[in-house]
Amino acid sequence: MEHSYFFIAMIYLAAAVVFIPIARKLGLGSVLGYLLAGMVIGPSLLGFIGQEGQDIMHFAEFGVVMMLFLIGLELEPSLLWNMRAPILGLGGLQVLITTAVITGCALLLGQPLNVSLAIGMTLSLSSTAIVLQSLKEKGILSSAAGQSAFSVLLFQDIAVIPMLAIFPLLAGTSTTHSNGHSLRDNLPAWMQTFVVLGAVVVIIVAGRYLIKPLLRIVARARVRELFTAFALLLVVSISVLMSVVGLSPALGAFLGGVVLANSEYRHELESDVEPFKGLLLGLFFMAVGASIDFKLILSMPWVILGLVIALMALKSIILLVLGRIFRISIEQNLLFGMSLSQVGEFAFVLLSFTFQYNILPQGTVSILTAVVAISMAITPLLMMLYERLIQPRFNVTDKNTREPDEIHLQEKHPVIIAGFGRFGNIVGRFLRVNGIRATILDLDTDRVDTLQNLGVKVYYGDASRQDLLEAAGAMDAKIIIVAMDTVEQTLEVVKVVRKHFPHLQMLVKAENIPDTYELMDLGVLHIYRETLDTSLRMGADALNMLGVRAYHAHRIAGTFRKQEEKALKGLSAIRNDKKLYINTVKERIEELEKLMANDKITRWNSPAQGWDESSLINEANGEQ
CATH number at residue 524: 3.40.50.720
Give how many domains the chain has, as a whole number: 3
Question: CA 153 to CA 159: how far, in whole Å?
Answer: 10
Amino acid at 349: V
Residues 358, 428, single domain; the answer is: no
Q: Establish if 503 belongs to a structural domain.
A: yes
pLDDT recorded at residue 54 = 54
Co-location of 100 and 24 in the same domain = yes
Has residue 5 been placed in a domain?
no
User: Do 68 and 215 sit in the same domain of this protein?
Assistant: yes
- Assigned domain for 404 exists: no
Query: What is the structure's pLDDT at 624?
Result: 43
Is residue 399 a part of any domain in this protein? no
Residues 6+ apart with CB under 8 A from 76: 261, 262
pLDDT at 316: 93
Is the domain of 503 the same as that of 379?
no
DSSP H/E element including 163: helix 144-171
**Integer Cα distance of 318 and 227 in angstroms:** 45
Let me know whether 380 and 525 are in one domain.
no
For position 318, what pLDDT does the model report?
94
User: In this structure, how many other beta carbons lie within 10 angstroms of the beta carbon of residue 316?
Assistant: 19
Instruction: Show Cβ contacts of residue 348 under 8 Å, excluding neighbours closer than 6 positions.
Output: 288, 369, 372
Report in angstroms the alpha-carbon separations of 302 from 275, 338, 363, 369, 502: 40, 22, 17, 16, 63
Q: Do 137 and 213 fall into the same domain?
A: yes
Domain range spanning residue 25? Answer: 11-386
CA distance 422 to 390: 28
pLDDT at 561: 76
Task: Tell me the CA distances in angstroms from 331 to 144, 336, 337, one per residue in order.
Answer: 10, 9, 10
User: How is residue 509 annotated by DSSP?
Assistant: E
Q: Does 398 reside within a domain?
A: no
For 569, list phi and psi in degrees, rounded to 5: -65, -40
On whether both 358 and 414 belong to a single domain, the answer is no
- 608 lies in a domain? yes
The CA distance from 380 to 429, in Å, is: 43
Say if residue 499 is in the same domain as residue 609: no
My answer on whether 238 and 320 are in the same domain is yes
- Distance separating the N- and C-terminal Cα atoms of the chain: 75
d(CA 73, CA 269): 9
Nearest 5°: the CA angle 75, 160, 170 is 160
Residues 337 and 437 in one domain: no
Mark whether 575 and 465 lie in a shared domain.
no
The answer on 476 and 422 residing in a single domain is: yes
Residue 405 lies in a domain: no
Query: Does an H or E element contain 438, and which?
Result: strand 438-442
Of 370, 386, 402, the one marking the end of a domain is 386
Instruction: Please tell me whether residue 418 adopts helix, strand or coil conformation.
Output: strand
Domain containing 24 — which CATH number? 1.20.1530.20
Give 492-520 pLDDT, tens digit per residue.
Answer: 888 888 888 888 888 888 877 777 877 88
- pTM for the full predicted model: 0.56
537 is a domain residue = no
Profile the chain (624 residues) by mean pLDDT over runs of 10 residues: 66 83 73 79 72 57 71 67 75 92 92 90 86 73 79 84 77 51 58 70 77 78 76 79 70 73 71 73 75 79 91 93 86 87 82 79 85 83 79 53 67 85 82 83 79 77 84 87 83 87 88 79 81 78 78 78 73 69 73 64 47 50 48
**CB–CB of 469/501 below 8 Å?**
yes
Burial state string for 142-170 with b = 16 or more CB within 10 A and e = fewer than 16: ebbbbbbbbbbbbbbbbbbbebbbbbbeb
- 45 in Cβ contact with 39 (< 8 Å): yes
pLDDT at 117: 92
Which of 476, 495, 530 is where one domain is finished?
Answer: 530
Choose the final residue of a domain: 460, 495, 530: 530
pLDDT at residue 78 in the model: 63
